[in-house]
């Protein structure tokens, strides 16, 4: 895997680090393809239950690497099957937590919006500054942000290009946990560990149903949730969960 994206397995948690601190973790094509590979790894390995995305050098991501884009010119882009930044269009089926330090702006915020939970250091700065350069945020931010915070707040952020801190986003429900500076990854790991007591196939199915539900009305939801849920209901982990309950012990999850 490219050194632009580092992976570390901490038991059932996959920590994925964007490793371009010299560019404030801005993404070029190689970074996007490497992130896609990391997300594939999370989905494909049964023993991995939850992912965490963070950034090296004190920043989450400053968005797209505009210098790399300019150098590429009209040459064709190398695109990931998961869309921008290797995650935006098709995030992994398993839960992912964003651990944000420093800047998460432009595509960096859109990458965080592609995650299921967000932990941010108190002094982190987040926003969509694209309009300042007459660019449009096309990494999902313009339709995901108003689904998750009040419409007029999201609209002001999109039209002003202003950055806001973690406390602002926590007040409006976008950030799950606010950490002290330098502690976002540790706090994200603590949050992940609170989820790991639960069955991993049920975690993945619950995340996927909620993710897909944006495209369903209520009448569709009743039928369309079942093929996703069935994977968990038919799993070895479900049988283990019921057996552990009957035997009054902690379950031993296998992710299958």
Structure tokens at 90: 């098709």
CA distances to 13, 151, 155, 183, 203 from 104, in Å: 22, 20, 18, 16, 26
What is the sign of the dihedral through the CA atoms of 115, 121, 127 and 133? negative
DSSP of 129-177: -GGGGT---TTTHHHHHHHHS-HHHHHHHHHH--EEEHHHHHHTTS-SE
How many residues comprise the chain?
A: 256
Nearest to 117 by CA among 189, 27, 69: 189
Nearest to 23 by CA among 71, 56, 72, 70: 56
Burial of 198 (0-12, 13-18, 19+ CB in 10 A): middle
Show Cβ contacts of residue 224 under 8 Å, excluding neighbours closer than 6 positions: 212, 216
Catalytic positions are 110, 130
């Amino acid at each position: 895997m490219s050194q632009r994206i580092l992976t570390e397995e901490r038991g059932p948690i996959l920590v994925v680090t964007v490793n371009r601190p010299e560019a404030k973790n801005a993404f070029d094509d190689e970074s996007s393809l490497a992130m896609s590979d990391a997300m594939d790894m999370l989905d494909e390995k049964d023993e991995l239950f939850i992912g965490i995305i963070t950034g090296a050098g004190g920043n989450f991501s400053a968005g797209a690497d505009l210098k790399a884009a300019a150098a590429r010119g009209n040459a064709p882009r190398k695109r990931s099957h998961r869309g921008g930044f290797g995650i935006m269009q098709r995030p992994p089926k398993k839960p992912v937590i964003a651990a944000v330090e420093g800047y998460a702006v432009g595509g960096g915020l859109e990458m965080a919006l592609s995650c299921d939970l967000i932990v941010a250091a108190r002094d982190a700065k987040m926003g969509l500054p694209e309009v300042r350069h007459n660019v449009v945020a096309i990494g999902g931010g313009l339709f995901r942000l108003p689904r998750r915070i009040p419409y007029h707040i999201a609209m002001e952020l999109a039209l002003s290009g202003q950055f806001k801190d973690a406390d602002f986003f926590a007040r409006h429900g976008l950030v799950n946990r606010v950490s002290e500076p330098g502690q976002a990854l540790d706090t994200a790991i603590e949050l992940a560990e609170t989820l790991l007591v639960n069955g991993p196939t049920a975690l993945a199915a619950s995340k996927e149903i909620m993710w897909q539900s944006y495209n369903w009305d209520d009448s569709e939801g009743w039928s369309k949730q079942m093929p996703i849920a069935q994977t968990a209901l038919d799993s070895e982990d479900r049988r283990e969960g019921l057996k552990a309950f009957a035997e009054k012990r902690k379950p031993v999850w296998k992710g299958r």
